[in-house]
């Protein structure tokens, strides 16, 4: 037998006339290769849960596909599950039945990987953003691309690359925790890492988090862990701001109806402006207004992404220089998943990273509707 039956959320080319996020996703029966057909370094994982990240929506909204996104394909890049089968040449200590978390893939050999900064792997794009053609087969016998971020976690059973697998067998992770930990491999580590590994604020900092989805709320909880005295949560959805206040935000700012964001950002941060800004919105007007509100010697961290060619910030160099501003890019929270994810699990168990408060579970058939919920979304697959 050369294939096994599975199911997956398959993305097809979006119809931009009637497009809403997820409207080009559908749950379909698919075939996956059986164990004896696995290639070097491939593992079959029975998924327990998957997070839905902004990147899944962003990449499947590209009309007509772009190089690296051959429709139809299976997205999903933060999953958890159990190992079903192991292909040839797998070097990691992994056994059938092990509980695993899935994160981004990296080559393990380039300078960034060797320095424990795999999010900046020299091969990040081809290993992650490109999906591999023909990993799955649909009912019509047509190839469906997979191994998105090395995993395509939107499949009931998926073909996963060894580089994306983090074995949590020795961390005593039970089934309920494993479900909850699915988004650690992207959204949570991105937000928490932006603070803990990139901005590294101190107690006196005035930290402002723009956008209070799963990434922003994780950043906010990380700032609380560091004892930052002023933590400002900014969003245009009231319920998110209320939630942020229960997780450590000392101030909330609802941007609805505000026409001078720079002044509002300064005012909410004691008139001087924030000293650290974490942007998870990827929305240029908000980024620009926030950049101009930054206090002297402030730090701005770019976390939110966009595929738009207009995703450009023009900066007055003299103002930038005289203010001593630090502008920092941040991908995947600069995480070294093998060390950072176990650390995040420890923070959760200590009650400092309240994943249960920012998660909501959906059956996989309800995923398109779940995209309207204002928080971290996960699906049982
Ligand atoms: Zn992501
Ligand atoms: Zn590398």
145-to-68, 195, 346, 349 alpha-carbon distances in Å: 10, 34, 35, 37
- The CATH number assigned to the domain holding 30 equals 3.90.180.10
* pLDDT tens sequence across 214-256: 999 999 999 999 999 999 999 999 999 999 999 999 999 999 9
User: Considering the domain boundaries, does residue 276 fall inside one?
Assistant: yes
Nearest ligand to the CA of 112 is 2
Q: Which helix (H) or strand (E) holds 138?
A: strand 132-138
Residues β-bridged to residue 209: 233, 278
| d(CA 272, ligand 1 centre) in Å | 33
Q: And the tokens for 36?
A: 């004896």
178, 49: one domain: yes
| d(CA 159, ligand 2 centre) in Å | 21
180, 62: one domain: yes
13, 104: one domain: yes
Nearest ligand to the CA of 109 is 2
Q: Write down the pLDDT at residue 381.
A: 39
| d(CA 324, ligand 1 centre) in Å | 31
Listed in sequence order, the residues at least 6 apart from 6 whose beta carbon sits closer than 8 Å to its beta carbon are: 29, 30, 31, 32, 136, 155, 156, 157, 158
Q: Could you tell me if 160 and 44 are in contact, meaning their C-beta atoms sit under 8 angstroms apart?
A: yes
Q: How many domains does the chain have?
A: 2
Nearest ligand to the CA of 116 is 2
* pLDDT tens sequence across 297-319: 999 999 998 877 788 999 999 99
Confidence of residue 116 (pLDDT cuts 50, 70, 90): very high
| d(CA 11, ligand 2 centre) in Å | 28
316, 242: one domain: yes
32, 174: one domain: yes
Q: And the tokens for 58?
A: 């962003």
User: Considering the domain boundaries, does residue 258 fall inside one?
Assistant: yes
| d(CA 305, ligand 1 centre) in Å | 10
Q: If you search the block for the tokens 């935000």, which residue do you land on?
A: 249
| d(CA 247, ligand 1 centre) in Å | 22
13, 137: one domain: yes
| d(CA 99, ligand 2 centre) in Å | 25
Confidence of residue 66 (pLDDT cuts 50, 70, 90): low
- The CATH number assigned to the domain holding 263 equals 3.40.50.720
| d(CA 341, ligand 1 centre) in Å | 15
User: Considering the domain boundaries, does residue 346 fall inside one?
Assistant: no
| d(CA 167, ligand 2 centre) in Å | 20
| d(CA 177, ligand 2 centre) in Å | 30
16, 142: one domain: yes
114, 151: one domain: yes
What does the angle CA 223 – CA 50 – CA 106 come to, to the nearest 5 degrees? 75
Rounded to the nearest 10°, the torsion over CA 50, 52, 55, 59 is 90
210, 117: one domain: no
Enclosing domain of residue 282: 191-331
45, 127: one domain: yes
User: Considering the domain boundaries, does residue 169 fall inside one?
Assistant: yes
92, 210: one domain: no
Nearest ligand to the CA of 113 is 2
| Plot region of 186 (φ>0 → left; ψ -120 to 50 → alpha; else → beta) | alpha
């Amino acid at each position: 037998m050369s294939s096994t039956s599975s199911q997956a959320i398959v993305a097809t080319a979006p119809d931009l006339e009637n497009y809403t996020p997820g409207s080009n996703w559908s749950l379909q029966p698919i075939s996956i290769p059986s164990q004896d057909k696995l290639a070097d370094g491939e593992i079959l994982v029975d998924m327990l849960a998957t997070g839905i990240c902004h990147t899944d929506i962003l990449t499947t909204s590209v009309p007509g596909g772009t190089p690296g996104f051959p429709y139809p394909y299976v997205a999903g890049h933060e999953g958890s599950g159990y190992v079903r089968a192991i292909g040839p040449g797998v070097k990691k200590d992994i056994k059938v039945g092990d509980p695993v978390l899935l994160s981004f893939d990296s080559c393990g050999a380039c300078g960034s990987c060797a320095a424990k900064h795999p999010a900046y792997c020299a091969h990040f794009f081809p290993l992650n953003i490109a999906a591999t053609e023909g990993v799955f087969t649909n009912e019509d016998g047509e190839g469906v691309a997979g191994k998105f971020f090395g995993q395509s976690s939107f499949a009931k059973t998926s073909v996963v690359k060894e580089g994306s697998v983090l074995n949590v067998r020795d961390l005593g992770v039970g089934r309920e925790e494993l479900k909850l930990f699915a988004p650690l491999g992207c959204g949570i580590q991105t937000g928490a890492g932006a603070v803990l590994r990139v901005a590294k604020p101190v107690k006196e900092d005035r930290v402002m988090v723009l956008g209070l989805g799963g990434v922003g709320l994780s950043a906010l909880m990380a700032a609380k862990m560091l004892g930052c005295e002023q933590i400002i949560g900014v969003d245009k959805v009231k319920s998110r701001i209320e939630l942020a206040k229960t997780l450590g935000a000392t101030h909330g700012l609802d941007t609805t109806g505000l026409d001078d964001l720079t002044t509002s950002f300064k005012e909410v941060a004691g008139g001087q402006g924030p000293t650290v800004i974490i942007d998870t919105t990827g929305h240029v007007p908000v980024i620009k207004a926030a950049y101009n509100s930054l206090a002297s010697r402030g730090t701005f961290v770019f976390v939110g992404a966009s595929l738009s060619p207009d995703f450009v910030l023009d900066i007055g160099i003299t103002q930038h220089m005289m203010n001593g501003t630090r502008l920092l890019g941040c991908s995947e929270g600069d995480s070294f998943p093998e060390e950072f994810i176990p650390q995040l699990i420890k923070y959760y168990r200590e009650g400092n990273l309240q994943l249960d408060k920012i998660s909501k579970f959906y059956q996989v058939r309800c995923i398109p509707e779940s995209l309207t919920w204002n928080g971290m979304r996960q699906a049982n697959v």
